[in-house]
């Protein structure tokens, strides 16, 4: 098999193979990774999270208490729908994260354009690299579940057939999502002037991201044949590719109810349309995009317009906070990373708030959902911004911060703390206050807002332990921090703690003394943490990561004789 | 006065700068020359405090720079070899950020930034992103950032890189003017004509070692060569350059 694959690969054109290898390495933005990063381990950790998710689903299918055939079918359908939705989410996230990579950047163009390489070779190599990464994600995510589904549905006789049907369905759903994103990008690039495309592309990327997260967390499962037939669900079924591919799987294994054939038809049609659309639009726009990339700079804000310089405290604080907010607003990579955290936080918040009842029915009685949701959103916002601060904007430009470091490090860290509170905590707090107006009694909402503010302060200080850096000046250290540990820490530690906190808070609200004690406890915790951090900040040294010095710069074309030394007269 | 005494820098045991001693005086422009890879930029980075010395010491106005690096940075302006800037900021935003980090007074710094941008012909593009700037425009931003706080020590590493003729002429006069006003100017460049015109003394480095430290006049008479180019070629350039060129032409022709 390995030999066959190697022979197949060798038959591909050399230019394609060389470019594919180059682009595959760059699906991850190496500029944002630390020189000490352990990239394979980092990817392994992500794969580990996906495998754990898949294993949990597979074990849930294989090990369960005795149940009726209907219940078993319902369990199978629920897992299948979840796996299709998760596969589409993972593929979508990969497509969104590698959004810019499908088009050659200026460096690619400057290197490749003068060479005898056809634009379509570059395009196919880029597509293959993006597809390979997405394919790897899909494979890791689905392998355990595919075995379990094949065994449970096909038995020993038809297991291979069901296994293949499962993989065709999942690969199709992933291809649909990837090709949809590419089609949108391709047509946008084709129809809009380059400058407008760059601006709209940034918005589209965030919109695609928000859509993916929202659909994943908010879309319901339909688990009974009656639900598929119900007229009330027709719009949902018609507009959701998750159900199209669910129907396609059943069509492939020959178990599709007659009334659902139209859904499978949508899967086939959708796949055909977006694959053709992506290929056609990208082929048409690629050469033009390459030319335009050379002709025009990527970023050129208008020479006129508002050029605000909002003061944020001292000169140093203003410099750090303005630098932070400008980096966040103007760097696509950082916006997407922050959107990742905010998107998940917002989706979870909406999901939790939905449990409390219809969002539009006001006023609500104060329920744990509101408290838990605001805790969750605050945590995601502060932790998310702090994580984004660890992605550098330009390591090579750090020298200016080093040569102008005239204030003690604690002032720089204090500015970072202020930026966390202003840009992460304050918007969430204000949104919570605004939405809190729909709850009653209002005095309890006010009490919760005090608690939320204290939680924000605690979170900001917790996130600054050991962070002796200016935002955006140091690399993320993938592989050095354990993604799996963080993920499970969130599930196992944060969720129960936040739930418990919300319950305790709700219990304390009717009693003034208990509420006061809770607030006093949190205020004391915040003060202790602040004192602890300030003591650690005083002797700290700001850390700036630099690229390694380039030593080799001479060409040594000839053997050089030893230099003649002229004795220099001393002054 | 800026003084380097037996300064060395090793990278993984390889000496990039080896036992270099020289000084740069106020009122003089000191040229710092050497072929690619000779250790010029490494020395510049050591003088700015960006990288640490392996051996030796650097002092400014009689005080070791490491004793009070912050006070030293207040008095130093640096134009690096490569125009590495935060590309997502505009020219005006970048200079404002540097002024804020240097804690310059608001009004004075904004007037100075505005004036520098006008004099360096960047005013019309001051709100455009640096990512759209040409190499020369980036170089001008670096020069403005290095000078806006009126430093006593000015370190210029290839400051003419990418500048057009008019801007280069302005910069050439500016360097001389700053030296005449008592600044210590250390100027590294490959443009030997410019160095010859504006520098009163030169320090020549070859393979990390100091091979000359003298006034240009004295070097000329000592070596019996009429130009700085001749002196430089004698001290730091492979002598068989014509032969190398011929070999390259032969190689690609074959």
The 10 Å Cβ neighbour count of residue A322 is: 21
Q: Please give the average per-residue pLDDT across B164-180, as a whole number.
A: 93
- Chain A residues in contact with B128 by the CB 8 A cut-off are 300-301, 303
- Chain A residues in contact with B49 by the CB 8 A cut-off are 402-403
- Chain A residues in contact with B127 by the CB 8 A cut-off are 301-305, 307
Portion 129-148 of B in contact with A at CB < 8 A: 129, 131-132, 145
Cross-chain Cβ contact A319/B97 below 8 Å: yes
Judged by a CB distance cut-off of 8 A, whether residue B80 touches chain A is: yes
Q: A169 with A264: CB under 8 angstroms? A: no
The pLDDT of residue A358: 62
Q: Which of A307, A399, A552 is nearest residue B127 as measured by Cβ atoms?
A: A307
Q: Which of A299, A549, A558 is nearest residue B88 as measured by Cβ atoms?
A: A299
Judged by a CB distance cut-off of 8 A, whether residue B235 touches chain A is: yes
Q: B59: closest CA among B3, B9, B7?
A: B3
Minimum CA–CA partner of A315 in chain B: B100
Read out DSSP for B134-191? -HHHHHHHHHHHHHTT--SEEEEESTTTT--HHHHHHHHHHHHHHHHTT-EEEEE-S-
Q: State the Cα–Cα distance between residues B75 and A558, nearest whole angstrom.
A: 42
Cross-chain Cβ contact A397/B85 below 8 Å: yes
Angle between helical axes of B106-119 and B91-101 (0-180°, round to 10): 140
The pLDDT of residue B239: 61
Q: Which of A323, A396, A560 is nearest residue B238 as measured by Cβ atoms?
A: A560
Q: Please give the average per-residue pLDDT across B214-223, as a whole number.
A: 86
Give the residues of chain A that fall short of pLDDT 70: 1-2, 27-39, 294-308, 357-362, 475-484, 545-571
pLDDT in tens, A474-517: 866 555 556 667 777 777 888 888 888 888 898 898 898 999 99
- Chain B residues in contact with A391 by the CB 8 A cut-off are none
- Chain B residues in contact with A563 by the CB 8 A cut-off are 206-207, 209, 211, 235-236
The pLDDT of residue A553: 42
**Chain A / chain B CB contacts < 8 angstroms:** 155
Cross-chain Cβ contact B128/A565 below 8 Å: no
How many angstroms away from the CA of B174 is the closest CA of chain A? 22
Cross-chain Cβ contact B127/A303 below 8 Å: yes
Q: State the Cα–Cα distance between residues B181 and B1, nearest whole angstrom.
A: 14
Q: What sign results for the dihedral spanned by CA atoms B46, B48, B51, B52?
A: positive
Q: Is A467 helix (H, G, I), strand (E, B) or coil?
A: coil
Backbone dihedral angles phi then psi of residue A525, each to the nearest 5 degrees: -60, -45
Q: State the Cα–Cα distance between residues A419 and A425, nearest whole angstrom.
A: 9
Within 8 A by CB and 6+ apart from A29, the residues are A333
pLDDT in tens, B146-167: 999 999 999 999 999 889 999 9
The pLDDT of residue B173: 94
The 10 Å Cβ neighbour count of residue B227 is: 13
- Chain B residues in contact with A392 by the CB 8 A cut-off are none
Q: Which of B23, B98, B235 is nearest residue A566 as measured by Cβ atoms?
A: B235
The model's confidence at residue B115, banded by pLDDT at 50, 70 and 90, is: very high
Cross-chain Cβ contact B85/A549 below 8 Å: no
Q: pTM for the whole thing?
A: 0.80
Judged by a CB distance cut-off of 8 A, whether residue B224 touches chain A is: no
Q: Which of B16, B23, B101 is nearest residue A571 as measured by Cβ atoms?
A: B23
Q: State the Cα–Cα distance between residues A351 and A353, nearest whole angstrom.
A: 6
- Chain B residues in contact with A402 by the CB 8 A cut-off are 49-50
- Chain B residues in contact with A322 by the CB 8 A cut-off are 93, 97, 100
Cross-chain Cβ contact A297/B132 below 8 Å: yes
- Chain B residues in contact with A331 by the CB 8 A cut-off are 88
Judged by a CB distance cut-off of 8 A, whether residue B98 touches chain A is: yes
Given a cut of 70, is residue B120 above it in pLDDT?
yes
- Chain A residues in contact with B11 by the CB 8 A cut-off are 549, 551
Which is it for strands A364-365 and A439-440: parallel, antiparallel or unpaired?
A: parallel
C-alpha distances in angstroms, A231 versus A42, A226, A235, A264? 46, 10, 8, 18
């Amino acid at each position: 098999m390995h030999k066959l694959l190697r022979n197949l690969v060798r038959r591909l054109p050399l230019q394609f193979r060389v470019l594919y290898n180059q682009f595959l390495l760059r699906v991850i933005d190496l500029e944002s990774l630390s020189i000490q990063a352990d990239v394979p381990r980092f990817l392994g950790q992500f794969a580990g999270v996906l495998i754990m998710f898949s294993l949990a689903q597979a074990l849930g299918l294989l090990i369960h208490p005795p149940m009726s055939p209907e219940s078993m079918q319902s369990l199978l359908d629920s897992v299948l729908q979840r796996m299709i939705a998760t596969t589409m989410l993972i593929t979508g996230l990969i497509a969104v994260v590698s959004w810019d990579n499908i088009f050659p950047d200026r460096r690619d163009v400057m290197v490749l354009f003068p060479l005898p390489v056809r634009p379509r070779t570059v395009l196919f190599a880029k597509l293959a690299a993006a597809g390979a990464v997405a394919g790897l994600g899909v494979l890791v995510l689905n392998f355990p579940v595919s075995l379990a589904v094949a065994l449970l549905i096909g038995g020993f006789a038809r297991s291979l057939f069901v296994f293949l049907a499962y993989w065709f369905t999942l690969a199709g759903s992933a291809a649909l999502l990837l090709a949809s994103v590419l089609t949108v990008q391709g047509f946008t690039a084709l129809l809009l002037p380059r400058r407008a495309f760059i601006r709209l592309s940034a918005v589209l990327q965030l919109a695609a991201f928000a859509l993916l997260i929202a659909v994943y967390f908010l879309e319901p499962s339909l688990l009974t044949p009656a639900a598929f037939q119900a007229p009330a669900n027709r719009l949902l079924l018609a507009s959701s590719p998750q159900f199209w591919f669910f129907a396609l799987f059943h069509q492939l294994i020959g178990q599709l109810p007659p009334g659902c054939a139209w859904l499978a038809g949508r899967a086939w049609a959708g796949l055909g349309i977006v694959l053709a659309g992506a290929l056609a639009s990208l082929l048409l726009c690629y050469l033009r995009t390459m030319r335009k990339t050379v002709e025009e700079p990527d970023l050129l804000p208008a020479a006129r317009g508002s050029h605000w310089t909002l003061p944020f405290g001292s000169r140093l604080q203003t410099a750090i906070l303005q630098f932070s907010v400008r980096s966040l607003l103007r760097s696509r990579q950082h916006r997407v990373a922050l959107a990742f955290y905010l998107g998940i936080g917002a989706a979870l918040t909406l999901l939790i708030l939905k449990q409390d009842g219809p969002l539009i029915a006001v006023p609500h009685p104060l329920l744990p959902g509101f408290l838990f949701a605001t805790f969750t959103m605050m945590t995601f916002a502060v932790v998310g911004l702090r994580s984004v601060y660890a992605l550098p904007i330009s390591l090579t430009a750090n020298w200016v911060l080093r040569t102008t470091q005239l204030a003690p490090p604690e002032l720089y860290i204090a500015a970072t703390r202020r930026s966390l509170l202003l840009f992460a905590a304050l918007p969430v707090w204000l949104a919570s206050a605004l939405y809190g107006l729909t709850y009653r009694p209002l005095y309890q909402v006010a009490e919760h807002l005090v608690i939320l503010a204290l939680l924000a302060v605690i979170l900001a200080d917790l996130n600054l332990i050991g962070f002796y850096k200016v935002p955006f000046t140091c690399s993320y250290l993938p592989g050095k921090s354990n993604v799996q540990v963080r993920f499970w820490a969130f599930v196992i530690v944060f969720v129960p703690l936040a739930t418990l906190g919300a319950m305790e808070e709700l219990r304390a609200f009717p009693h003034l003394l208990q509420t006061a004690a809770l607030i006093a406890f949190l205020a004391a915790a915040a003060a202790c943490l602040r004192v602890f951090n300030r003591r650690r900040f005083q002797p700290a040294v700001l850390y700036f990561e630099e690229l390694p010095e380039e030593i080799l710069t001479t060409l040594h074309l000839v053997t050089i004789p030893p230099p003649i030394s002229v004795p220099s007269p001393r002054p | 006065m800026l003084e380097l005494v037996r300064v060395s820098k090793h990278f993984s045991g390889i000496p990039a700068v080896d036992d270099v001693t020289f000084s740069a005086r106020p009122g003089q422009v000191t040229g710092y020359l050497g072929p690619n890879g000779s250790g010029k930029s490494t020395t510049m980075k050591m003088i700015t405090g960006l990288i640490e010395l392996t051996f030796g010491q650097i002092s400014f106005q009689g005080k070791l720079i490491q004793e009070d690096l912050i006070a030293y940075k207040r008095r130093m302006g640096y134009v690096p070899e490569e125009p590495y800037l935060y590309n997502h900021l505009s020219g005006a935003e970048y200079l404002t950020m540097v002024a804020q980090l240097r804690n310059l007074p608001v009004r004075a710094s904004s007037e100075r930034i505005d004036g520098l941008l006008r004099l360096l012909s960047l005013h019309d593009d001051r709100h455009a992103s640096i990512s759209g700037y040409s190499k020369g425009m980036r170089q001008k931003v670096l020069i403005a950032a290095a000078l806006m706080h009126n430093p006593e020590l000015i370190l210029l590493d290839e400051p003419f890189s990418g500048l057009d003729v008019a801007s280069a002429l302005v910069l050439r006069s500016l360097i001389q003017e700053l030296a005449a006003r008592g600044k210590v100017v250390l100027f590294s460049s490959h443009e030997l004509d410019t160095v010859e015109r504006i520098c009163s003394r030169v320090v020549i480095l070859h393979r990390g070692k100091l091979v000359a430290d003298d006034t240009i006049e004295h070097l000329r008479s000592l070596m019996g060569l009429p130009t700085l180019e001749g002196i430089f070629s004698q001290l730091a350039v492979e002598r068989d350059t014509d032969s190398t060129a011929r070999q390259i032409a032969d190689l690609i022709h074959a």
